A and B are shown apart, each in its own frame.
Chain A
Amino acid sequence: MPYPISKYQFAKKELLKMFIAIFVLALVSVAYYFYIRREALHTAERRAELTLQNTERTIHIRMGKIETTVNAMGPMAEYALDDPDAMYDIARHTVESSSRIMGAGIAFIADYYPEKGHWFETYVGYHKGGDTLVTEQLGSAKHDYLNMDWFQKGLASEKGSWTDPYYDNAGGKDYMISYCLPIRDTSGEAVGLIIADITLDTLSSIVRSVKLYPHSYCTLATNDGTVLVGPPASQKSKGKTHAFSERIDGKNMTLTLVVPESDMYRRLRRSSLFFALVALTGIFTVFFISYRSIQNLWQLNEVRIKEQHIEDELTIARNIQQSLLPSEKLSVPSNTLDIKGLQISAKFVGGDLYDYYIRDNKLLFCIGDVSGKGVPAALLMAIAHSLFRTLSAHDDRPESIMQALNASISDNNPDIMFITLFLGVMDLSTGIVRYCNAGHNPPIIIKDGRAEYLGTEPSLLLGVDVEAEYTANELALSPGDTIFLYTDGLTEAENAQKELFGEQRALETASQYGTQTAEEQIEQMQQAVHVFVNQAEQSDDLTLLIVRYNPVEDFTLTLTNNIDELSRLEPFLEKFFDQNSLDLALLSSVDLALEEALANVIMYAYPEDEKGEVTLTANVADNAIFMEIRDKGMPFNPLEQQEANLDVPLKERQIGGLGIHLIKEIMDEVAYTYENGHNVLQMQLYRKPLP
């Protein structure tokens, strides 16, 4: 059920939903961003590791080739140990066997060749910038290799080993790294070293060629921190970087790969930019769509509120229309009539009407159908109903009521709406119905268990011709006869196969009416329609009205003004109670009250010696027993008689007046009238036992 809320509140509610959606989206995006970032870091780590391993291997292989070359020279030098000059050839040979080797030397321990002096180190190599080999003896007091670290370490080493990088001031004039292989004499004593120099450039070209990311670079440094290959000059250190390191196996060097974060996350940045763009577009779209939906929803909400208003009003209209229907209980002074109506509207309000009431011992009733459905039909129905009540208030001739009704409705009928109406007036004492039919479905008359349609041709319907004249017909009902009136909602009730209930089915159902009450007959007809229609929706208003003429024989007892006649009262009442199945607990009280009333008349109404009569009539309605005592005696109102004063002591009491007191005490209603030369005493007792 929509509630009337302000547009602001409404928008707030909808916007809140939208913001929550966007917030969740943003949260997911941020989480996703960090996840991708971590993945990128892992990828970079893995790639760096692989690259460093590859580089290390390349360096290793390159240096390994040098080692192999030099290792091959070792035995040659050992073989030629006797000939110091051969060492020049071996050194030359070493240099020539690899383009990488910038220079090679063979240095001997002090005084190994006495003829060569204290120092002896043959050297063959390229001087910086030159392309011809120069052969030299380097050992001298100035170049005292004997005390140099590399010589002592190399000599002490079991196998060949690499020196730390150094600046070669003597031969190469460049940053060098050298491989030293000990030469042993026949006794296995290390007597010298073969040294092969390579420039650091040999390695740095490998290091520099490592390009993992556009701005990443690789450095090479000794393990104790001397930088051999530094960052390239073009590399300006800006922003955060990540460094990954790898030691070069057995070479006292470490490779370091430096990757700027900006490179590492370059892809991520690009894709997150794209993602942000998509998200922004999405949010804008959501905003736009939400704005439109809020507008639409608001409009819808307003429509729903309006619909609710209309529905409320229609419910009120329906209640008003229902209130126009005659009340369930009809105050009929006997069982003369059994009458029951039913109205079911297809929509909230309908265009069918029925009404009945009793006036001057006559039943005035009508049933009608306004053309169309819904509110317009309901309004005209209300007008017709009110006209019926007004016009029939002082007129009991159906033809003149109908004529006046037609004139009123036709006179101002801009929308040309019609009413079919059947209007009848039944004399309750004779059962004669005078009726007028303005284009309405003919009612079914059920006489002696035989049902047939009323044969009279209908007259013109109401609302067409302001001057139309109507004539009445007469129908005599016997006790037990029934008039069954209905609207076309009955005969045109449709089932799922689009078949109509039809007049024949209505007639057949009515034929089965036995002695059921009007209420049971209505239920039977409704049930028949229900079974026929099955699941189909009720498409038209359905109205049924059943009038059963059922006069009950009045119980009448006429007594002469002889007190002995009173003995006839008790048997009469016993029979009356028995035939009407009345509560016997009431019998004694009724007997007493009536005896008192009748005795009063017999003893006082007529002058002595004058013969007179008194008549008791009794009958029963749903809720009460009616009793009436009539006589033609002197006008005398027993109710005005002095009542016994019961509240004074016995001595002061007058004997008398007890009878009328008992009547008033026992009966619920007592009324006296004098009409047409008759004393009429009416009494009524509700059908509940006395306390």
Chain B
Amino acid sequence: MDITIIEEGNTINAVFDGRLDTVAAQQITETVEPLLQNAGRTIILDCEKMPFISSSGLRIFLKIRKEVEAKGGNMQLRKVCPEVRQVFKMTKLEDVFDIIE
């Protein structure tokens, strides 16, 4: 799992590349730290290249979401693949995240 973080003005774009499974979730704990720190701004999680997400992955997304909410920022999920969307559906998180195309 590779995460590329690009800052564009007030927007932080994080591109997730690869499976966000349990192992990956453990590995990226530090990588996502900048996102949590900048939770007051607009954070876009680009999921186009993320075919899989486990509950650990979901927990990371939720952690960011809580942080953003606390700091009054904005968070969007972009280009979620059907498999991952299905997981969101099963866990009733579909409406929690702001999912855009």
Contacts and interface: CB of A to CB of B under 8 A. Distances in A.
Interface of A: 563-564, 566-567, 570, 588-589, 591-592, 595-596, 599, 644, 646-647, 650-651, 653, 655-656, 658-659, 661-662, 665-666, 690
Interface stretch (B6-14, B38-46, B49-57): B49-57
A123 B66 CA distance: 179
A442 to B, nearest CB: 56
Interface string B74-94: 000000000100110011110
B31 interface: no
B51 to A, nearest CB: 8
Contacts of B91: 644, 646, 658, 661-662
A647 B95 CA distance: 11
A662 B55 CA distance: 8
A110 B21 CA distance: 176
Given A599-B56, A650-B96, A655-B62, A666 B90 contact: yes
Interface of B: 19, 21-23, 26, 51-52, 54-56, 58-59, 62-63, 65-66, 69, 83, 86-87, 90-93, 96
Contacts of A647: 92
Contacts of A656: 59
B32 to A, nearest CB: 14
A596 B91 CA distance: 13
Given A644-B91, A659-B54, A563 B26 contact: yes
Nearest to A598: B22
Contacts of A646: 91-93
B23 A596 contact: no
Given A588-B52, A650-B65, A595 B21 contact: yes
5 contacts: A567-B21, A588-B83, A650-B65, A662-B91, A666-B90
Which DSSP category, helix, strand, loop or mixed, fits chain B's interface? helix
Contacts of B66: 650-651
B55 A659 contact: yes
Nearest to B24: A567
A595 B54 contact: yes
Nearest to A661: B91
Contact of A599 (B22, B65, B90): B22
A193 B45 CA distance: 169
A646 B89 CA distance: 11
Contacts of A563: 22-23, 26
B54 A596 contact: yes
B53 to A, nearest CB: 8
Contact of B22 (A566, A651, A655, A666): A566
A410 B21 CA distance: 68
A644 B96 CA distance: 15
Contacts of B69: 650-651
Contacts of A665: 90
Nearest to B90: A665
B58 A658 contact: yes
Contacts of B58: 658
